[in-house]
Structures are given as structure tokens and as C-alpha cells.
Amino acid sequence: MAVLSVPRWRLHQHYTSYSRQRQANPGAEHRLTVVLDGRWRPSDSGQPCRATSHGHTTRAEFTTVDGRLVQVRMVPAGCPPRPGPTRRGGAARCTGRSTRRESRTMTARQVSPAGLDRYRRARFGMFVHWGLYALHGRGEWNMFEARTPLTEYRRLADHFEAERFDAREWVDLAEAAGQRYMTVTTRHHDGFSLYDTALSGFKSTNTPFGRDAFGELAEACSGRGVKLGAYVSLIDWHHPAFRFREKSKLAWEDYVGFLHGQVRELCTQYGELGQIWFDGEWPHSAWSREHADWFAPGGSYGYPELYDAVHRLQPDAVVLNNRKSVPLPPGEDVQGFENDLPGENTAGFNTGTVLDGPKETCLTMNKTWGYVSTDDDYKTVDQLLDTMWRAWSAGSNLLLNVGPRADGTIPPREQELLRAVGSRLSSQK
């Protein structure tokens, strides 16, 4: 075990350095303990205790097996380190004079007035579904639909080259279409991260592509008229603590720590964001009952703490959770509708209840979100504009989707439609 004492803000840097060092012996189990300077708060880990008589420090334990991160655990300095990954049922809670139980009433934060005003004025955005699934061209749910074994799906990463990806071209296209924000799938349900996360090795920087796509988009959006947003899946078909807790002996809390950790990464490493878009829990859907091993959570996602972290770290970013349920809980800012206008339910899974607050309709240009090579059933420019006007009349933003191909380019037909929409919008000003 290695132990470091570092400032809280250098945690990511030290873990990245440690990850490189332990690659020389990937078959062994490694554990790194990082002692963070500064007062530990319950929101850092979801634990209800904090250090009181051992200084203001926190220990973060990283455990890796076969070169793969399997646990990140934040504990107060008064607690001893665990011998390995969290077991089902967990170890005893830290007790003793160095810690105390603490009850806390959280006052929910919301997006700032300035951030909400910017979002409402933006009105039109680009939704981007891109990941490993573009390689087979059968959509972002194909891993589930084909019941692809994890070991087989992981091999797609060996072929992800995206040799024509240019973040500036994507932003140029969004501006030409009149879109004022761009929300990108940083990690979809398949578990592949499109950025250089320190919490998983299943990511774009560990492929032949070798680049942080979300980081390049953040740079391309900087100083432009397009605000970047992050789509984050609540479920993860790759993570051992989501689908494979029995086999991995991990607990649900290990997955929640991973999820919250990724959200904190996105909120602290990519500049100012305009939106955090959550997806994967649908209370009125049968998916979690009929396919529990793929969709059912093992407990709470910790929404109060999750939303609080977003609003604390990105006060101008709106939070949308695609739960298709009302009323919105504290911390959520926007009511979402999928492939439907507010009040309509032609898709069969949206609520008919329309709230008074901000709203957003996300819409495909054809029939699919992620790239599907055989889907040529595109809407016309007139159909897209008609939906846009109706959404705006209902007080709703429109988030129009593109599904880039494996090489990193947006399909030509989608580019044509977006440029035509932008031209029509410009002519009507």
C-alpha cells in the first residue's frame, strides 16, 4: 500500500500518476491511500461521520485488481483502511472518539438565475450520442439488445480510432444550425467514457484514438456561442458494482461512489458547463423489472448529494434527469420530454403532465440516437422546423440529436439538415 498526503484539488493528478506506476505489475492487487488536506464533509462520500480529533483530513482509498480500478472509498482519518474491496453488507462503520454521527438537513440548490436565463434564451441545442457503439452501427443499446458478453464488447475499444474526429467541426456545425449548446454522451449505458476519467480504464484515452474527446470539445466551445453540456448515464453495464456485484463482491455504494466521482470530474475539469443530463432511471418503465440484471439499481443513486455537487461546482448549469416523472424533486431544474412535445405522448413513455418551469424536448432526426448505418428515415427540414416552433411555443427548448460515425464525423445527411435549419432560421430573423 502506498500512502500520500496531498491537497484535495490534486487528488486526480496523484491518482493518475499512481495508475501509471502500478502498470508495471498489473496482475497484483494494489491499494493507494491518499490523505486529503482540508475538512472532510459528508457530501464527499455519502458517509454520515467526519473526523473531529485527528485533524482536518480525509483518506481516499483506491483499490485496483488486474490493472482495473474497482473501488474508490473516502473515509475520515480516524478510520482504519479496509483490507480490500467492499464486501456485500460492508464492514462495520467507523466508530470511536475520532468520529461522530451527524445528522444533516440539506437545503437543495438549484441552477443560478443567470444560468437558467442563459439556458432559456439558448432554446436550441445539439444532442450527441457517440461511443464504441458507432463501430458496429447498430445503436447505443445494442450491447443489451444482442446480449453481448462484456469481454466481447470490451474488444471494440481496440478498434476505436475516430481518425476524422475534429471538435471544431462539430462546434462549427452547431453554430451554423443556430444551436447555442451541445450536450454530449460522456458515458452511455455501455460504460465507455468519452473522456480521460481517472475512475475507469474503459475510456477513449485507452483506445487507438487515444484522446479526450470531451476535453477537445470543451476547448472548441470555449469563447464560442455554444455552451458544452454532459450526458451521464446512471446505469453502467460495464461496472462490476452495477451488474456483477455477486461476482465482484462489491457493494452498491461502490458504484454510487464511482457515479458521483465521475460527475465531480466533469464538473471540475472541463470549464464552465451549461447542462448535466442524467439518464437511466425510468420509474414508470418495465425495464428494471423485466431486465433487472441490466437496468435495476441496487439502491439509491443519492440524488440530493449528486444534484448538490453539480450546483455547487457548476452553479450556472441546469440539471435534467430523463426520469419522465413528476413532480421534479429538489435539485432538478428542467422537465424533459423524449421524442415528444410537452403534453403529447406519442412515444408512449412520456408524462402528460406539463409543469410551469423550464422544459426540454430531445429529438432524433431519424429513428435512432446512436449511429445506425441502415437508418435513413430522416425528417424533412420542414418537419424539424415545425417541431421546433411548436416546442418553443410550449416554452420548451429543443435538443436535436446527431449520431456521429465511428470515424468521428457527423453523417452527411444530418449535416445537410442542420445547415438547412440554420439557414431558414437566419432568414426569418
pLDDT at 60: 52
> Scanning the structure block, which residue is given the C-alpha cell 422544459?
359
pLDDT at 297: 96
Q: What angle do helix axes 412-427 and 381-393 make, rounded to 10 degrees?
A: 60
The predicted-structure confidence for 374-422, as pLDDT tens digits, reads as follows: 999 999 999 999 999 999 999 999 999 999 999 999 999 999 999 999 9
Mean of pLDDT over the chain = 82
pLDDT at 348: 79
66, pLDDT greater than 90: no
Cell numbers placing 368: 435512432
Domain ranges in the chain with CATH number 3.20.20.80: 113-427
Q: How far apart are CA 80 and CA 59, in angstroms?
A: 10
Q: How far apart are CA 193 and CA 216, in angstroms?
A: 14
Cell numbers placing 195: 473522456
Q: How far apart are CA 23 and CA 392, in angstroms?
A: 52
The predicted-structure confidence for 248-262, as pLDDT tens digits, reads as follows: 999 999 999 999 999
pLDDT band at 146 (very low <50, low <70, confident <90, very high): very high
> Scanning the structure block, which residue is given the C-alpha cell 444534484?
307
Q: How far apart are CA 89 and CA 248, in angstroms?
A: 13
Is 3.30.50.10 the CATH number for 113-427? no
The predicted-structure confidence for 181-211, as pLDDT tens digits, reads as follows: 999 999 999 999 999 999 999 999 999 999 9
* Section 124-150 average pLDDT: 98
Task: For residue 20, give every residue at least 6 positions away whose Cβ sits within 8 Å of its Cβ, in sequence order, or none.
Answer: none
* Section 171-175 average pLDDT: 98
The predicted-structure confidence for 77-120, as pLDDT tens digits, reads as follows: 344 444 443 333 333 333 333 333 333 455 789 999 999 999 99
* 248-272 b/e (C-beta count within 10 Å ≥ 16 → b): bbbbbbbbbbbbbbbbbbbbebbee
Q: How many residues does this entry show for the chain?
A: 429
**Is 0.85 surpassed by the pTM of this model?**
no
pLDDT at 56: 32
227 neighbors 274 (Cβ within 8 angstroms): yes
35 neighbors 66 (Cβ within 8 angstroms): no
pLDDT at 106: 59
